Amino acid sequence: MDNPLNLTASKYTSKGAIYFALSLLIFGLISFGEISIAQLPLVYIPLLCLFLFNRTTKLTIDPDWLVYAGLAAAVVFIAAISAKYPDHAMMEAAKYRDVALLGFSLYLSLRHDLVEWSNAIFAGIACAFLAVAVVTLWEFLSAIPDLQGDHTHINPDLSYYGHIRHFSYHAFAASLLASICVFQGNQKNVFAWLVLAGCLIALLVSGGRGAIAGYGLFLLIYGVVRLDRRVLLRFALIAIALVVGAVVLLALSPASALVESLLARSDLSQGLDSVFSGRIYLWTLSWNASFEYPLFGYGPGGFQQIPGTPTYASQPHSFPLQLVIEFGWLGGAVIALCLIRLLLKVFMPRGGSIDAADVELALVLKCAVIAYLVFSLVDGLFYHPIPLIHFAVIFAALTACNRRCYAPESDAMEATG
């Protein structure tokens, strides 16, 4: 695909530049907190209106999607109204509703453009992250010398994130999107490489080991499924070079304390200050508490109601445990089954391919989804708004891509015509 910033080549690259600018603006406002999770209707309502008033072709929606989505929504609603604090639970439930509607509206309103101009859209989102990353990392690195040797609690106040680890979630998601841009025909595009390099450096400086491992898993899965040793070797060498460069940079900067923090937080003798001991404690606590309300759980956002929960933890740092805590064993099982059915629909669509480029895009998007799901087993990607929103974008693009790749004949004519 063409460089989305090339405004002079043709009307098509101009359209790409428009998508790049809009995604940069919208996700820049989200990243800087100007559009909160509660204000997402300001984004998806205009998209739905665009779909309703600008329809040129008939769009059929798989009824299974409506059934599974409706069933999951019903479970969330029941869990919220039956919670101990229903007002708080309904507010948390609105987060899941709005993120789901954002992804759904992107699919409906953009549809084929979400595939055709995915590079421009993803590049704009990644650049929005880089803008807030500069501010965040400056605050983070500037505050480290003032922590007076406390290497187990490197958590200075940040303007746009509650914790530097929350920033690492954002860096992980942006790195995935930037990588997709590079993989999709932009391997000679210097701009795409610079965006990817910036995202990866931010990811490394954040010190989020789960996020770094999740991105490494993405590269590994993509290299294996492509069976392209050159691609795998090329990106492995780039990743190693970035890691070495980041370590050298950290060692020579005020952030040298960050390296000591990572080592200290891996020491089991630190108790709950250790990442491993802390995770085991939260998982054990969540497992035992899940049997208190086995039907519909504590309600959305109810983790803090569990006795003995540390003040620093707002969620159990594991998506399966998050399901059983917030929605109970019954409700969590229903939601899990709905999600599995939806994943199977986008991972194993039926039909014949009409565009090799779309099939390639679908492949790399599936690798990103798998990396997201594996990372969510040990952290809160599906609790915090920013990674939730990015996942909605990736999933909407994958759904639209499959619609083009494995569409009925009428849709295939529309996609190629």
| Residue that wins the pLDDT comparison between 37 and 226 | 37
User: Is the pLDDT score of 345 beyond 80?
Assistant: yes
Q: Please tell me the chain's helix, strand, coil percentages from 3-state DSSP, rounded to the nearest 5.
A: 75, 0, 25
Residue in 183, 185, 189, 179 with CA at minimum distance from that of residue 214? 179
Q: Rounded mean pLDDT of 173-194?
A: 83
Dihedrals φ, ψ of 407, to 5°?
-90, 160
User: Is the pLDDT score of 249 beyond 50?
Assistant: yes
In contact, 125 and 23? CB cutoff 8 Å: yes
The pLDDT, as a whole number, for residue 206 is: 80
The pLDDT, as a whole number, for residue 299 is: 94
Decide if 34 is inside a domain: no
pLDDT classification of 368: cutoffs 50, 70, 90: very high
The pLDDT, as a whole number, for residue 178 is: 93
| Residue that wins the pLDDT comparison between 43 and 360 | 43
Residue in 287, 295, 283 with CA at minimum distance from that of residue 83? 295
Decide if 91 is inside a domain: yes
Least confident window among 51-60, 82-91, 234-243, 361-370: 51-60
pLDDT classification of 413: cutoffs 50, 70, 90: very low
Greatest mean pLDDT among 165-169, 240-244, 260-264, 328-332 = 328-332
| Residue that wins the pLDDT comparison between 59 and 346 | 346
Which position has the token pair 């400056």?
138
User: Is the pLDDT score of 248 beyond 80?
Assistant: no
User: Is the pLDDT score of 417 beyond 50?
Assistant: no
User: Is the pLDDT score of 311 beyond 70?
Assistant: yes
Q: Domain count for the chain, please give it.
A: 1
Decide if 33 is inside a domain: no
The pLDDT, as a whole number, for residue 220 is: 84
User: Is the pLDDT score of 379 beyond 70?
Assistant: yes
Q: Rounded mean pLDDT of 397-401?
A: 89
Dihedrals φ, ψ of 277, to 5°?
-65, -40
Query: 182: how many CB neighbours lie within 10 A of its CB?
Result: 20
pLDDT classification of 50: cutoffs 50, 70, 90: confident
Decide if 95 is inside a domain: yes
Domain containing residue 47: 39-54+85-110
pLDDT classification of 263: cutoffs 50, 70, 90: low
pLDDT tens digits along 227-241: 666 766 776 777 677
User: Is the pLDDT score of 256 beyond 70?
Assistant: no
Decide if 50 is inside a domain: yes
The pLDDT, as a whole number, for residue 199 is: 92
Decide if 365 is inside a domain: no
Decide if 297 is inside a domain: no
The pLDDT, as a whole number, for residue 242 is: 66
d(CA 333, CA 353): 34
- SS3 state of residue 178: helix
The pLDDT, as a whole number, for residue 147 is: 55
The pLDDT, as a whole number, for residue 3 is: 47
User: Is the pLDDT score of 328 beyond 60?
Assistant: yes
User: Is the pLDDT score of 174 beyond 60?
Assistant: yes
Q: Rounded mean pLDDT of 326-341?
A: 94
pLDDT classification of 215: cutoffs 50, 70, 90: very high
| Residue that wins the pLDDT comparison between 246 and 380 | 380
Least confident window among 218-232, 317-331, 386-400: 218-232
Decide if 47 is inside a domain: yes
